[in-house]
Amino acid sequence: MLLRTLNDAQLTYCTNVHPGETLSEVRALLKRHVVAVKEAVAPPDLRFGVGLRLAAAAADALDDPEELARFKAELEADGLYCFTLNGFPYGAFHGTRVKENVYLPDWLAPERLRYTQTLARVLGELLPLGVAGSISTVPGCFKGMANGAEAERQMASSMIDVVAMLVDIARSKGRHIALALEPEPECFLETTDDALGFFETHLFSREARARLVDAADVEPHEAERLLRRHLGVCLDTCHAAVEFEPPLEAFRRFQAAGIAVPKVQISAGLKLAQASPERLEALHAFADGVYLHQTVVNDGGMLHRYLDLPEALASAAAHSAAAEWRVHFHVPIFLRELGSFESTQAELLPLLNELARARDCPHLEVETYTWDVLPQEFRDVPVEEAIARELRFVLETLERALTTSPA
């Protein structure tokens, strides 16, 4: 039996919270951290699903049939299985400056296509029969890198080439995998509107359908259905909330447009309801040198976007004390308050309440990868304990939604 949520969805957390770029490091983090989380949240007789982050180095090592078979056997021996991959960060993700380099190589570079195809081959072997798979990925590129329609077509073409491989995996192995683009502040796909426009203009276009017909040898009348089946959005609830977009509203808009949401990354950002001088001074503690903390300030209904938190803090005098700040800094989802600050947990809950009743629920992946750069007062327990608490928070929220909602 596989561990699922109450509504039969897959639930996990993303291993990008743990340092590990090479295959040997991935093996070690699975033994040290993931098995401990499994023991904390899953009954012994249930297998625990892993939301695996594979850097390019680890993915390349697993792109060998014998190595991959050994890895799969090791997962099974520990009561684990893999159903989703985080294919966003390509290289180093901990202990060094990541910032805007996290988007490189982007979908304008052939290395991104090759890496994602490697992930698809790996997941095609790891995925249990009858379980859907997903791979989340960069939302095109960093904002400003996609200069014009030709660059957009280039990115779309590479994504469709991945879909062609996913169609072949479905035919040859009976495993369904979807590629999920993850909108993020200051990226080419930043908002829900950005994603809706790109899908309709490029990914579901006549040109896209024709490319898939040629690349995957499918009938023309099947092309759009296959594109919509194997290509969609990874909805990160922190990213949406930072953009002042309610995650539930974003989810419904994608559904209404016929765009799949194969994965929801359950995350919360940092929220400053009123920007007093004391709170702004305390906010400096979250301005680490590792990750990019895009910041959006809502000042009287006008949204002011900043690439990183230090840039926003340097411009604080331009905003009123009543302005609301939201920061792309993933904080534990079970914390509604963090000292002088709040999290965007309140924006997350309506979506979880709806997903509790969803017939076809997306993969649910808790993603609080910033544990090692959180101010010390908010990480005073072992990371495994915090992750287990996050997973229990999701399960309890889903259960509460089911028991309090009309049948």
> Higher model confidence: residue 385 or residue 405?
385
3-state secondary structure of 363: strand
Rounded to an integer, what distance in angstroms lies between the CA atom of residue 177 and that of residue 147?
Answer: 30
The domains located in the chain, with CATH, are 11-268+340-404 (3.20.20.150)
Cα 198 to Cα 202: distance, rounded to the nearest angstrom: 6
Q: What's residue 29's pLDDT? A: 98
Q: Which of 270, 238, 240 is nearest to 252 (CA)?
A: 240
Q: Structure tokens of 337?
A: 């308050």
Looking at residues 140-151, what average pLDDT do you find? Answer: 92
Give the per-residue pLDDT at 402.
86
Region at 173 (left for phi over 0; alpha for psi -120 to 50; beta for the rest): alpha
The 10s digit of each residue's pLDDT in 311-335 is 999 999 999 999 999 999 999 999 9
Which pLDDT value is given to residue 146?
86
Model confidence pLDDT, tens digit, residues 181-213 = 999 999 999 999 999 999 999 999 999 999 999
In DSSP terms, which residues pair with 270 in a beta bridge? 327, 343
